[in-house]
Amino acid sequence: MKKQLVLLGWLLLTASAVLGQNIAKIDSGAINGAKYRILFPENWKGKLVMYAHGYEFMGSKPLQSQNPEFLVRMKPFLAKGYAVAASDYQYQGFALPQGVDDTEALRQYFIKQYGKPDSTFMVGHSMGGGITLATIENFGQYYNGALPLCPLSSRPYLQCRKEYDMYATFNGLFPGIVPSLKEIFASKTLTPALNMRAMVGKAKAIKEALLAKDSVLAIAFAKRFDLKLDDLPFSLMFNENVLRDIAQKAGGNPFDNTNTLYSGFPNNLVVNQQAERLVATVNPNLIFGKYDRTGKIDKPVLLLHTIYDQLIPATYGVVNFENMVHQQQKDQYFTVKYTNGQGHCNFTPQQTQKAFEALLHWTKTGQKPKAGFVE
């Protein structure tokens, strides 16, 4: 017990130092094997933000809610007097359906322990933004609104299929630089999570190989997938990890590109003749079916996105979901704000705070914020 009290005191001091404000209480534990943390500010007003974190490589440490960056990202919500509850999910990697279930379990725990909040908002970054949208689509009755940040807002299959197609066409044009799709989906083990130094070294090697092969084609390839050349190596490494993760969780390959006609390249004929082709070996619904995106929302959703995102370009992070919302005739519940951020989830705390304040004002007054730029 003494050790636990010392640890709690250390966590409170760390949180206060990082945030520049006092944290009155931290509740941490596990629900069904999923660790969680709940932060309470000193000026807690009986209000709650449920937070969903983004994709993390299998085996990476520390878990998201244990990272000091988590405290920094939660500052805009804590500063408004909101408690923040975040689950680390039962497993890492692609965990969108599990993240929805674990977040809902944590919300129920919060009510049992602390009572029903005056208001509850759903917030998440990246894959957590996808969890945010899936939560509002499926458990919206428990929320006042949602703030998906740089979210995986397309159908999860389509987002991951984009990563698969990048790999398939890259291996056709630049064979031998990264592992083949055949090797990735035949592997029985995951690639160990790389530390930052190892990732930088591997990215440098990929870029050097690209430039040596054909620098002009490399630039055109990156542009085809809405990337800057400098971001292409990391995107390929990220995609490899995601695809290996999906292969293990699905028990095979859920993608089939034997009928895919690729376009948008300098020479589409060459790309289609040389692209790596595989047939699906498992039903994609095994991993993507639960909580698939629908666009059916009935609570205010303010989506915040950077103008450039090397992992979830705006086409996937905004346009696809906007079309689904429009098809459901739910436009009155959806608005988009964007920043000039140059990278995935590259928001300032001030930009996040402005977006959150706009969402709060919307839910309080019923006046939908105008879409547009956030400085």
End-to-end CA distance of the chain: 47
Q: What is the CATH number of the domain that holds 346?
A: 3.40.50.1820
Same domain for 142 and 33, yes or no, is: yes
Which residue among 288, 312, 338 closes a domain? Answer: 288
Residue 64 corresponds to which tokens in the numbers above? 């998201």
Sheet containing 23-31: give its strands across: 23-31, 34-41, 82-87, 47-52, 119-125, 145-149, 301-308, 334-342, 372-373
Q: Which of 5, 18, 58 is nearest to 244 (CA)?
A: 58
Same domain for 120 and 137, yes or no, is: yes
This prediction's pTM: 0.93
Rg (CA), the chain: 21
CB 354 within 8 A of CB 374: yes
Q: At what angle do helices 232-250 and 156-173 cross, to 10 degrees?
A: 120
Return the SS3 of 152. Answer: coil
pLDDT along the chain (375 residues), means of 10: 41 48 89 97 95 93 89 94 98 97 98 98 98 98 98 96 97 96 86 71 93 97 97 94 93 97 98 98 96 98 97 90 97 98 96 98 98 97
Same domain for 200 and 220, yes or no, is: yes
pLDDT tens figures, 10-62: 444 455 544 445 799 999 999 999 999 999 999 898 999 999 999 999 888 88
Which residue among 251, 267, 288 closes a domain? Answer: 288
Q: How many domains does the chain have?
A: 2
Residue 43 pLDDT: 87
Same domain for 146 and 166, yes or no, is: no
Same domain for 97 and 171, yes or no, is: no
Q: ∠27-28-34 over CA atoms, to 5°?
A: 140
* CA–CA distances in Å: residue 93 to residues 10, 54, 228, 244: 29, 9, 25, 10
Which residue among 288, 321, 355 closes a domain? Answer: 288
Q: Which domain holds residue 313?
A: 2-154+293-373
DSSP type of residue 327: H
> Token pair 């990215």 is at which residue?
203
Same domain for 37 and 111, yes or no, is: yes
Same domain for 254 and 297, yes or no, is: no
Same domain for 332 and 196, yes or no, is: no
Same domain for 243 and 314, yes or no, is: no
Residue 317 pLDDT: 80
CB 96 within 8 A of CB 292: no
Q: Which of 222, 173, 227, 177 is nearest to 203 (CA)?
A: 177
Same domain for 127 and 270, yes or no, is: no
Same domain for 135 and 9, yes or no, is: yes
Alpha-carbon distance of 256 to 281, in angstroms, equals 8
Same domain for 140 and 216, yes or no, is: no
Residue 64 pLDDT: 87
